[in-house]
Amino acid sequence: MQLTDFFKCLSDQTRLDILKLVMDKQEVCVCELTAQLNLSQPKISRHLALLRNLSILHDERRGQWVYYSLNLDLPEWAFAVLNRIFVSDDLYQNLVTQPTSITTHCD
């Protein structure tokens, strides 16, 4: 993974929000992301494809749903960057603490 590609991918607020939610919940489905971020499924899927193509996220199909989690094979420096963003971003704290009725699995 190239450093520049990694940081270009993180330069979009929607992708950062997706990563923060994935890191918080360990794995999420597209339906959870659309509800939490209030964005359309095609827009979320486009961002997920970029994160998956760069191997930041891992995807797993279960029936009709695809679940996304952080790729455990990321370089150590990438984990360090993501963890730093995760613990220091005040905007993230607002996003995660919003009340939501989203379950961890889609129906």
Beta bridge partner(s), residue 59: 68
Residues in the chain, how many?
Answer: 107
Q: How far, in Å, CA of 59 to CA of 71, rounded? A: 9
What was the pLDDT predicted at 93?
A: 54
Q: 40 in helix, strand or coil? A: coil
Domains of the chain: 3-95 (1.10.10.10)
Q: Give the tokens for residue 24.
A: 């918080």
Query: Residue 82 in contact with residue 19, Cβ under 8 Å?
Result: yes
Q: How far, in Å, CA of 64 to CA of 89, rounded? A: 33
What was the pLDDT predicted at 99?
A: 46
What was the pLDDT predicted at 107?
A: 54
Q: How far, in Å, CA of 17 to CA of 78, rounded? A: 16
What was the pLDDT predicted at 101?
A: 47
Residue by residue, pLDDT tens for the chain (107 residues) are: 788 889 998 899 999 999 999 988 899 998 899 999 999 999 999 999 999 999 999 999 988 888 999 999 999 999 899 888 877 655 545 555 454 444 545 55
Report which residue type is found at 86.
F
DSSP letters for 14-39: HHHHHHHHHHHHSEEEHHHHHHHHT-
